[in-house]
Amino acid sequence: MFDIKIVPGNEVYLAGRFDALQKEKALAVFDEIDTSYQVNFTDLEYISSAGLSVLLFTQKRLKGIGHQLVLKNLSQHVREVFHYAGFDLIFKIEENKADNS
């Protein structure tokens, strides 16, 4: 299962498993974004290379017009995926509130 939706406050909410089967669904949402947005990973369990590619493509497009995606609430596992892929150097990743206690 995968859910993606734009919520108030320029935020994209992700839930479930973001894999190759969900790429087109995600692209339909991310292609509509034309300003800086936060991407909320609170309920995202898994992201594949296809999911990473959607985010990277969107980030590159937005940077070209002076905007960006800011990622927040990544689980430890998803955060490690971003780190190993080097994406923590491409995206601004907000620290989880629980990490700051």
**55-61, long-range: CB < 8 A, 24+ apart:** 55/30, 55/87, 55/91, 56/87, 56/90, 57/30, 58/30, 58/31, 58/33, 59/90, 59/91
Collapsing DSSP states into helix, strand and coil, what is residue 5? strand
Q: What is the pLDDT of residue 19?
A: 97
Question: Using an 8 Å Cβ cutoff, are 14 and 3 in contact?
Answer: yes
Does 99 have pLDDT greater than 70? no
Over residues 38-57, the pLDDT tens digits come to 999 999 999 999 999 999 99
CATH of 2-96, one of 2.60.40.2470, 3.40.50.10310, 3.30.750.24, 2.30.110.10: 3.30.750.24
For residue 15, count other CB atoms closer than 10 A to its CB. 16
Q: Positive or negative, the Cα torsion across 64, 89, 97, 57?
A: positive
Does 7 have pLDDT greater than 60? yes
